[in-house]
Structure 1
Amino acid sequence: MNTNKIALVTGANKGIGKEIARQLGALGFTVLVGSRDAERGAVAAKELVAEGHDAVVLPLEVTSAESVAAAAATVEAAYGRLDVLVNNAAIIPAGDGPVSEVASDVLRSAFETNVIGLVAVTRAFLPLLRKAPAARVVNLSTSLASFAQVGDPDSRMSTVTTLGYNSSKAAANMVTVMLANELRDTGILVNAADPGNCATDMGGWNAPRTPAEGAAVAVTLATLDKNDPTGHVYAEEGRLPW
């Protein structure tokens, strides 16, 4: 019987997601490498196993109800519970831009993955999270979802005009707060992590932070003690202003 804590990281075949999986593996978790591309997920899991981590690929397309249900059934059959869920999978859709220019289908695709997909995965795995003694949910967020920072004309965040990404991540923050409130008496803590601008496909390879640095905040939130806060967004420097 597997006595490790079980963690699922969505979008874990590359970038920050893979680094979150790697760091949780180093802490002794069995890591489920959620990936919409099963082959790429298998390659990432194999890499983690070669490093000494307990990692298994879990095919998971967050926008597919069938894929989400199948993934939840697989985890239930194999482990019977889930200790940590990290909702990392997200997109900046092609064509994302300012309010005056972004097409409706582009905006819709951002919400489909970054909000609806996040909620669908969380809802599907919640029964397994409830079976763990002290489960944690971590949603990946961004400073671009901070009203305080984006609303400050002197902030660099005010110059980034990706409406689909920014607004969908702001909605994901509200999901975080509402789920934390819903689960406040269960012992399940729900928070969001801002990894900062990391060198990834999404952040651009000239970004100042490494994926490993960006992953650290999410890993901290995934391993909080029972008396730690719930329902907040945290960056490396602390709680993020909304």
Structure 2
Amino acid sequence: MSRPARRVPTAPATTPVYRVALVSGANRGLGFEVARQLSERGMTVLLGARDLDKGLHAARKLAGAAGEVVAVQLDVTQQDQIDTLARWIEITYGRLDVLVNNAGAHYDPAVRPATADIAAARDAMDIHLFGSWRLSSAMLPLMRRHGYGRIVNVSSGCGASTTDSANCPAYRVSKSALNAYTRVLANELDGSGIQVNAVCPGWVATDMGGPGGRAVADGAAGIVWAACLPAPLTGGFYRDRQRIAW
């Protein structure tokens, strides 16, 4: 009598890792495209918008993507909104894996520093630097809980210290400050599983960037790359997946 064939156990199917991402300023332009690309990767994407109606309209455009897209009201200059959102994310999902600090404003090439409106500069700092700071601090506990996180600060090459120009002073100075914040936060979180990087999407043809720039999808791709990094890579400044000078 022949012996029965030995059954070889099959490896269990790999369970996809469930990820939740939050993108600020995502109802249009670069943020919307980042949300779209993240949702196509199967992530649940929280589409942040100051105007919730505009956020809901944007989220409906992404219906049918691989990942769920949920519009959330988010003004990064309002601490109470940020705190409320953090509590809602904790109750609803129990985690946040990706944060893209994308909200932006005050890109005005015609303005010069000697005659710039200080109020506009203050607002740019409140959005780019302090908005990213508020949002990151509020969401970090949700990342620390699972020892995993990707924080991407959407910056700009015009905020690099190696770039000399007199235009866009409010935007330029606030993005430079955001770069400094990226470095200090990355240093603090090094080894925690939470990676922090800044990404310049390049000049992108959006409502804020104006015509003539590169395709929005191309600018968003580098941000999505940093949001999905599989290996430890933190504390850098990147454009198109290549490290650039601060």
Same fold (TM over 0.5): yes
Going from structure 1 to structure 2, the CA distance change for 1:98 and 1:194 (only over 3 Å counts) comes to: same
Identity %: 39
* Deviation for aligned residue 1:135: 1.0
Indicate the residue corresponding to 2:222 in structure 1. Answer: 217
- Structure 2: distance between partners of 1:36 and 1:71: 12
Contact 1:134 1:226 in 2 (8 A): no
From 15, 36, 59, the counterpart of 1:22: 36
* Deviation for aligned residue 1:3: 6.4
Indicate the residue corresponding to 2:245 in structure 1. Answer: 241
- Structure 2: distance between partners of 1:237 and 1:20: 15
Moved over 6 A (4+): 93-96
CA deviations over 1:198-230 (Å, ceiling 9, x no partner): 1111100x2231111110001000111233x21
* Deviation for aligned residue 1:94: 6.9
Indicate the residue corresponding to 1:9 in structure 2. Answer: 23
* Deviation for aligned residue 1:118: 0.9
Secondary structure of 2:22's match? strand
For structure 2, the residue ranges without an aligned partner over 5 or more in a row are 1-15
1:150-161 to structure 2, matched below 5 A, reads: 150-151=163-164, 158=165, 161=167
CA deviations over 1:97-144 (Å, ceiling 9, x no partner): 211111211111110111111100111111011123421100001111
Structure showing greater Rg: 2
Indicate the residue corresponding to 2:212 in structure 1. Answer: 207
From 160, 168, 175, the counterpart of 1:169: 175
The RMSD of aligned alpha carbons is: 1.8
Structure 1 length normalisation: TM-score?
0.90
Secondary structure of 1:7's match? strand
Q: In the alignment, residue 132 of structure 2 is paired with which amino acid?
A: L
CA deviations over 1:37-93 (Å, ceiling 9, x no partner): 100101111111144541001111100111111111111110011000000001116
Contact 1:96 1:106 in 2 (8 A): no
From 122, 128, 149, the counterpart of 2:136: 122
Report the count of equivalent residues. 231
- Structure 2: distance between partners of 1:237 and 1:25: 20
Indicate the residue corresponding to 1:71 in structure 2. Answer: 85
Going from structure 1 to structure 2, the CA distance change for 1:163 and 1:106 (only over 3 Å counts) comes to: same
Q: In the alignment, residue 236 of structure 1 is paired with which amino acid?
A: D
For structure 1, the residue ranges without an aligned partner over 5 or more in a row are 152-157
- Structure 2: distance between partners of 1:141 and 1:161: 16
- Structure 2: distance between partners of 1:237 and 1:231: 14
Secondary structure of 2:125's match? helix
* Deviation for aligned residue 1:186: 0.5
Contact 2:109 2:167 in 1 (8 A): no
* Deviation for aligned residue 1:4: 2.5
- Structure 2: distance between partners of 1:38 and 1:86: 18
